[in-house]
Structure 1
Amino acid sequence: MTFQDIVFVVFSVIMLLSGLRVVTAKNPVHAALFLVLTFVSASALWLLIEAEFLGIGLVLIYVGAVMVLFLFVVMMLNVDVEVLRHGFWKNLPLACVVAAIMVSELILLIKARGADVASTVDVMHTASNSKLLGKLLYSEFIYPFEIAAIILLVALVAAVGLTFRKRKDSKYVDPGKQSKASSKDRIKLVSMSAEKFVVVEEPAAEQTDVQQ
């Protein structure tokens, strides 16, 4: 067994165990951190097969952006884990059957495409992974790539539109009105009559003659 095989086994075991802990951890913050570990291990496996662009993209996009957002949301919402885990063990057998079917389909797909993968190994060694991916995206898959970009843009605009709501009790400043203001608008002189001081006379103290 070579050193590359040992590294592959180590990262694969870490990825499987951390993926299992994602669905079994009681604390949602711990589950999110285990998911980060799963993504990092998967990125290391991408780097082992010389898919540098996918490995770095997985770390930058999912670990650096998506999972940080997940952690903020989980910490702010204070999710009730007991409600989310209700019925977990009851549905576990069905989930295992579905997972076994998915794994078997992947194994059959890898065996069927094994010859094609072996024939492209020499090409991957002679050219950059990012360069080959760019050529495929902007030549054969240009229309699906543009459609996916439009769908993501629409989803982004919809998310902003759903969160943007006007509140009647909110106070804000209009920069346009501020820039149009002049010195006459800022200072307003009010003419007021002078105040008159009224002297109030105190009543004289009653004097009583004490006759002895």
Structure 2
Amino acid sequence: MQIFAFYLFASIVIASAAFCIFARNPVHSVLWLILAFFNAAGLMLLVGAEFIAALLIIVYVGAVAVLFLFVVMMLDIDFAELRAGFMKNLPLGLLLALVLLAEIIFGVGAWSSAGTGDANAVIGLPAGGPSNIEALGTLLYTKYVFLFEAAGLVLLVAMVGAIVLTHRQRGGVRKQVISAQVNRRPEDATRNTQPEIGKGVEL
């Protein structure tokens, strides 16, 4: 079962990577890249690296979503055309989603059938010991805790830089003045009145 799962995931990874490169539509390239990451996560499960598999799905697919936002912001994509083709491609999208779900279930089943001891032996951990997630977490938050925090700081700076680079000045939009909002007094913002019945409200 593990051999069949390996060849299945590996072939789909290679094929989806090729389609990602040769696709003319950037949105299609992003979708092929997501498919490649899902199948690469299946390969990581087969060798017992469930932490890397989770990273591929959570972090890398999330990064692909950010990449998609960059493509939308920097390229002139016709959203009307995208919406028009959404319902037409909905059955195909649901079919692909079911295939991905079946692949994940198949990969988890193949990984579980190997046993925890065999998975630990593949990645060099003693059989019956802590899993690679526990060992990696212990190492990150003890010996490499400062480097781990530094990596988070670098990612924060990169996120702020991406926001600054993609920020656009649009005409006809009122700019937010932070100082005016901070210095505004409550009595200048609201006014309590007691209008008489039938008199309406004075604007």
Query: Which bin holds the TM-score, normalised by the shorter protein?
Result: 0.5 to 0.7
Offset at residue 169 of structure 1 (A): 5.4
Offset at residue 149 of structure 1 (A): 2.0
Structure 1 unaligned spans of 5+: 80-116, 187-212
Change (3 A) 1:133 1:9: same
Offset at residue 38 of structure 1 (A): 0.3
Offset at residue 78 of structure 1 (A): 3.1
The whole-number CA distance in structure 1 between the counterparts of 2:170 and 2:76 is: 25
Partner of 2:143: 140
Q: What is the number of equivalent residue pairs in this alignment?
A: 145
Q: Which amino acid aligns with 1:181?
A: D
The whole-number CA distance in structure 2 between the counterparts of 1:54 and 1:119 is: 12
The whole-number CA distance in structure 1 between the counterparts of 2:16 and 2:44 is: 17
Offset at residue 8 of structure 1 (A): 0.6
Correspondence for 2:40 among 11, 18, 42: 42
Partner of 1:113: none
Offset at residue 126 of structure 1 (A): 2.4
Aligned pairs for 1:1-212 (under 5 A) are 3-63=1-61, 65-76=62-73, 77-78=75-76, 120-123=124-127, 125-163=128-166, 170-171=173-174, 174-176=180-182, 177=184, 179-181=186-188
Of 12-21 and 146-155, more deviation after overlay is shown by 146-155
What whole-Å deviation, never above 9, does each CA across 1:78-109 have from its counterpart, x for those lacking one? Answer: 37xxxxxxxxxxxxxxxxxxxxxxxxxxxxxx
The whole-number CA distance in structure 1 between the counterparts of 2:144 and 2:189 is: 57
**Which has the bigger relative contact order, CA under 8 A and spacing at least 6?**
2
Change (3 A) 1:163 1:119: closer
Offset at residue 73 of structure 1 (A): 3.6
Offset at residue 178 of structure 1 (A): 6.1
After TM superposition, the score normalised by the length of structure 2 is 0.58
Q: Which amino acid aligns with 2:68?
A: L
The whole-number CA distance in structure 2 between the counterparts of 1:180 and 1:165 is: 34
Offset at residue 61 of structure 1 (A): 1.7
Offset at residue 148 of structure 1 (A): 1.6
Larger Rg: 1
- Matched-pair contact (CA < 8 Å) for 2:47–2:123: no
The whole-number CA distance in structure 2 between the counterparts of 1:47 and 1:119 is: 11
Structure 2 unaligned spans of 5+: 78-120, 194-203
Q: Which amino acid aligns with 1:179?
A: P
The whole-number CA distance in structure 2 between the counterparts of 1:166 and 1:178 is: 29
The whole-number CA distance in structure 1 between the counterparts of 2:148 and 2:30 is: 30
Offset at residue 5 of structure 1 (A): 1.0
Name the SS of the counterpart of 1:120 in structure 2. Answer: coil
The whole-number CA distance in structure 2 between the counterparts of 1:147 and 1:181 is: 45
What whole-Å deviation, never above 9, does each CA across 1:9-42 have from its counterpart, x for those lacking one? Answer: 1100100111111111122221111101000000
Offset at residue 162 of structure 1 (A): 4.2
Change (3 A) 1:180 1:172: farther
